[in-house]
A and B are shown apart, each in its own frame.
Chain A
């Protein structure tokens, strides 16, 4: 199993540009989530999904969209990038049968918005 994979590893955007961060998992996990981590800070939940077609907001959803058309993929879309969205983005997944605190994280995508 590859686990949780994220692409790209690093991206530079200009203010106002849009892009999609990709996340995929091959463990057939129902639950997937997106977090952002700013320098020296903990992780903040952006959006999550409990299955295909079901998504909900986390702590900091503004400026981000998600969709879940398959169990495997959970892309995160930045509609109009802003410098405040410069961060490292982590995707995570877990089976619904496990407790919420037990997640498997991807390697992250480092995003710089100029």
Chain B
């Protein structure tokens, strides 16, 4: 399973763009990159998934360089409600997709 490395925590202010970078040097050819968001006292929520280049949805954008050894989750104009833990996951294609592993994640604090 490819290991991921993320910052433990980040601070931001309302209205700013937040970029969280995840390192995954051992990503396999068939692995996708997935990000989850977890609010306190709630289960994780799927945000976005991508394989290469750029993916955008109504919540976030995901930037993946050509070598795919890292990825950046971009949250535009954050608000206080974006305070959460963000997890970067890299696909577990070698186990048939049955043993998804979560790391410690990045705690994002958005201040007024």
Contact = CB atoms under 8 A, between A and B. Distances in A.
A99 B49 contact: yes
Contact of A101 (B92, B96, B103, B105): B92
Contacts of A35: 102
25 contacts: A4-B43, A35-B102, A42-B102, A42-B105, A45-B99, A45-B100, A45-B101, A48-B99, A50-B98, A90-B43, A92-B43, A99-B34, A100-B91, A100-B92, A100-B95, A100-B96, A100-B98, A101-B89, A101-B91, A102-B49, A103-B100, A105-B43, A105-B44, A105-B45, A108-B43
A44 B90 CA distance: 15
Interface residues of A, number: 27
Given A92-B43, A106-B43, A101 B100 contact: yes
Interface in B14-64: 32, 34, 41-46, 49
A40 B100 CA distance: 19
A6 B99 CA distance: 21
A40 B40 CA distance: 11
B44 A102 contact: no
Per CB-CB distance, the 10 closest pairs between chain A and chain B, nearest first, are A100-B97, A105-B43, A101-B34, A42-B102, A43-B102, A42-B104, A101-B89, A90-B43, A100-B100, A42-B103
Given A50-B98, A101-B34, A42 B43 contact: no
A26 interface: no
Given A42-B104, A42-B105, A48-B99, A101 B49 contact: yes
